[in-house]
Every structure is written in C-alpha cells, then in structure tokens.
Amino acid sequence: MSLNLTAITNENTFGIWKDRTNEMITGFGTVVTLGDTASANTGNIALTGNVSAAGTIFTDTIDALGAGNLINLNATLDVNGDLGINATTSSKLKFYLADVLKWTAQATSESIFEIKNAAGTKVFKIDGSTNVNVITGTGLTISNDILPASITSNITGNAATATKWAASRNVAFTGDVTGNFDIDGSAAVSNVQLTVTDNSHDHEVAQITDLSTTLAAYMPIAGGTFTDHVHQTYDKQIKFNNAATPTDYSSIRHGTYTTNTNAFVIHSVGNHFVSLGSGATSWSIVDGITPKVSIAKSTGNFVTIGDITAFGSVSDIRRKENIVKIDNALDKISKVSGYTYNYKGDKTPMTGVIAQEFEEILPEVVYETELLDGTTSKAVRHGNIVGLLIESIKELKAEIEELKKDR
C-alpha cells in the first residue's frame, strides 16, 4: 500500500485538515510502524527507496520487490532462526571479498549440494541422487588435522588388528590368458603361473619392433655358432657347469693368476689350472697350488717335476711286437760321431749328433718336425739310440773276451 499526501496550507478548511489527518492515521496504522521493539509492526513494509537504521531491524521476511532487485547489507547480518534461499532452478549463496566473488554454496538440484571457488577448480560435492550418498572433491586434500587418530565407528570384528582377510579371495583370468591365484591380504602374491592360449596372438619375431635385431646380437641357448669375436670382461669367467653337481664347474678366463696380471687361465674341477701368461713363466700346469709343468718364456726351457714319456714310448713288452735285436751295432755306431756345435743365429754351445748320419745307420730314430718359423727340419729321438748303444757295448765286450782268450 502506498500513501500519497499533499501539503496543507493555511487557506485549507478545518474539514480538509481533519480528512488529511485521518488519511495519515489510516496509512501509518496499515503500512508501517517505526519505533522500538515494543511497538512492532504487524503487517508488511513495502519500500521503493532506501532504509537507513542506526539500530536493529527485526523482521520475519525480507523480500526484494520484482525480479532483478537486490537487498544489499553493508554490515554483519545476524539471523536468529532459519535463513532460507529460494529460487526456481538452483539456490546459490555467494561470498565476496572486496566486491570480488570468491566462493559459492549452491543446491544444484534437490539431491546435490556443492561448494566451489569462483573458478570452479576446487569443488566439494555431496551427491544424494543414488541410494548410496557420495562425497566427492576436485582439487582438494584433507588435512591430517581433520581426520581422527583412529577410525572405529564402522569397524566390526577384528578389522582393527587383523593381519589378513577373514576369507581369502581367488583371482581368476579368462580368455587368451588363463590361470588363477588366491590372496588373503597376509602377504604379496608372487610366482603366479599364467597360460597364454596357443595361436591366440601373432608372436612372430617380425611383428615385434626391433626384436629381430636385438636377438641377433645374442647366442642362442643351444646350437649357436659364433661368427665374430667374443669379448669377455677382464678377470671374468666363462663357466662350464657339472650337470650332476652345478656348484662344480670348469672355466676359462683372462685375468690375474698369482703374480701374473695378464694370464689366460683354464680351470677345471678340483682346483687344477693351466695358465698361459706373459710373465717369466709363460705356461704352467698347476695341481692345487704346486706347479707341475712350466715352460719359461725367455728361454723356452721345459720343466716338470714328473717323468716325461715322449711319443708314448713305454717299454712294456706286452705292448710291443715285431721285436728284432739290432745287429752289427758296433759297426753302425762307428759310422756316427758326437759333436759340439751351436745353432745358426744362436751362439750357445751345444753337444749332440747329426740326424743325417743316424738316418744312414738307424733311420728309426730320425723324424721330420716343424719349427716355430714354419719350416721343417730333421730331428733325432735320442732316447731311441740307447738300444744301439747297448748292443754296441755287448759286441765290444765279446770282442774283448775273445782277445783275452788268445793271450
């Protein structure tokens, strides 16, 4: 209701004054009563302008007149009771800071309520649209200060102290990959055996990127052939395991052996070694820690702590046939001589025999051998000359005996 009053002048009659006074009484009594709380208005106050109050305004309802009208409060708003926000679509409560929108609280439907920042990058949402209410968040973290030290409200049984699930669960794979395993939460699951169905996928080498090139650089487990150099790290072994006892193995390596730092070592089960090195003793055969055979690099001297049986020259008669005693041994031995000499290119004095002389009288002790420079040369098996010497001594002894008889 609005009240329109015109000014009263001295010329107006008493009747006009009376009518005008009654209009004011009626209007004030129906529309508004301003004063303290004891004289509260029982009707509505409709304002088209501003209302300024130094104290407190008590009201049941504040409503803007017409769409687009705003109610602006520049001070703290205290509500003793419910604060209702009503809209035909979604109800929204906005929070500003220095006239800049920062946050909104909004009911987007009858089941969904959300709080989000102005940019919409941080959202806290309660969704009751399904049978199970859901709280979700976007760009938010929950501080440890908010969570209690322990959560027990929904824990039943031994869930707070259990080390495994009450009942184990089976995880099963079906389709191209089959297999299953059980898990009860007590430990991690490992060594799971799964089976890939044959011919279910194209696993040809050509279909896998770079696999053919990669495999070409490796030796197959069986039946492979090296066509180029094989490089092994210094002092690392290539092992050949014993199938019956895998911890027993033979090996080859290039590395350190005793004081030799550049040795090629062949090791067999039982701590037996063959060492081909670059030290003073280039080659050696070792049983345990004792060298049994060595060849000196500088001189070529061959040293062994055992016997040498060359060409398998055992003397057991059980292994021999076509046995013929050497005849005319003294005549034959008189056709050869012993000499002192040195080899060409080497001034070291030597003693010995000439192979070509023995080739004339006892060719069985002469043979051809290949030297280190690739040439061939005649050589003598000196041990085989002993038989000739024995028979020569016996013939000489017989002649001496005959001479003694003639005296």
Regarding whether 318 and 295 lie in a shared domain, the answer is no
Whole-number average pLDDT of the chain: 77
Report pLDDT for 347: 92
- Residue 327 DSSP class: P
Could you report the per-residue pLDDT of 366-391, keeping only the tens digit for each? 999 887 778 899 999 988 899 999 99
Report pLDDT for 83: 73
Domain that holds residue 245: 237-304
Q: Total structural domains in the chain?
A: 3
Please give the structure tokens belonging to residue 163: 């080390």
**Domain harbouring 383, CATH code:** 1.10.10.10
Report pLDDT for 152: 53
Is 39 inside a domain boundary?
yes
Could you report the per-residue pLDDT of 344-369, keeping only the tens digit for each? 888 999 999 999 999 999 999 999 98
* H or E element that contains 171: strand 169-173
Report pLDDT for 11: 66
Confidence of residue 158 (pLDDT cuts 50, 70, 90): low
Is 112 inside a domain boundary?
no
Which of residues 82 and 397 earns the better pLDDT score?
A: 397
Residues 353 and 349: their CA atoms lie apart, in Å, by: 13
Is 147 inside a domain boundary?
no
Which of residues 63 and 228 earns the better pLDDT score?
A: 228
Regarding whether 374 and 356 lie in a shared domain, the answer is yes
Highest mean pLDDT among 47-51, 159-163, 389-393: 389-393
Say yes or no to pLDDT of 67 above 60.
no
Regarding whether 357 and 298 lie in a shared domain, the answer is no
Is 220 inside a domain boundary?
no
Question: Shortest CA distance to 364 belongs to which of 394, 392, 342, 386?
Answer: 386
Is 17 inside a domain boundary?
yes
Regarding whether 52 and 30 lie in a shared domain, the answer is yes
Confidence of residue 301 (pLDDT cuts 50, 70, 90): confident
Regarding whether 400 and 335 lie in a shared domain, the answer is yes
Question: Shortest CA distance to 232 belongs to which of 252, 257, 261?
Answer: 252
Report pLDDT for 323: 92
**Which residue's entry shows tokens 């769409």?**
67
Report pLDDT for 139: 75
Looking at 24-33, 108-117, 195-204, which range is the least confident one?
24-33
Regarding whether 54 and 34 lie in a shared domain, the answer is yes
Which of residues 229 and 399 earns the better pLDDT score?
A: 399
DSSP string, 132-189: S-EEEEES----TTTS-S---TT--TTTTT-SS-SS-EEEEE-TTEEEEEEE-SSS--
Please give the structure tokens belonging to residue 204: 């040809």
Mean pLDDT of 238-260: 75
Domain final residue pick, 61, 84, 107: 84
Regarding whether 375 and 318 lie in a shared domain, the answer is yes
Looking at 35-39, 114-118, 198-202, which range is the least confident one?
35-39
Which of residues 112 and 366 earns the better pLDDT score?
A: 366
Is 299 inside a domain boundary?
yes
* CB count in 10 Å sphere of residue 127: 16
Confidence of residue 395 (pLDDT cuts 50, 70, 90): very high
Regarding whether 323 and 295 lie in a shared domain, the answer is no
Mean pLDDT of 270-277: 71
Mean pLDDT of 22-39: 59
Domain final residue pick, 84, 102, 135: 84
Regarding whether 59 and 7 lie in a shared domain, the answer is yes
Looking at 70-84, 302-316, 326-340, which range is the least confident one?
70-84
Domain final residue pick, 84, 100, 124: 84
Regarding whether 390 and 320 lie in a shared domain, the answer is yes
* CB count in 10 Å sphere of residue 235: 13
Which of residues 113 and 54 earns the better pLDDT score?
A: 113
Regarding whether 320 and 277 lie in a shared domain, the answer is no
CA distance readout (Å), 24 to 10, 30, 42, 63 = 18, 10, 17, 25
Say yes or no to pLDDT of 159 above 70.
no
Mean pLDDT of 50-70: 63
* CB count in 10 Å sphere of residue 130: 8
Report pLDDT for 385: 93
Is 171 inside a domain boundary?
no
Say yes or no to pLDDT of 34 above 60.
no
Mean pLDDT of 84-111: 81
Residues 274 and 295: their CA atoms lie apart, in Å, by: 12
Say yes or no to pLDDT of 304 above 90.
no
Regarding whether 319 and 241 lie in a shared domain, the answer is no
Looking at 6-10, 191-195, 227-231, 286-290, which range is the least confident one?
6-10
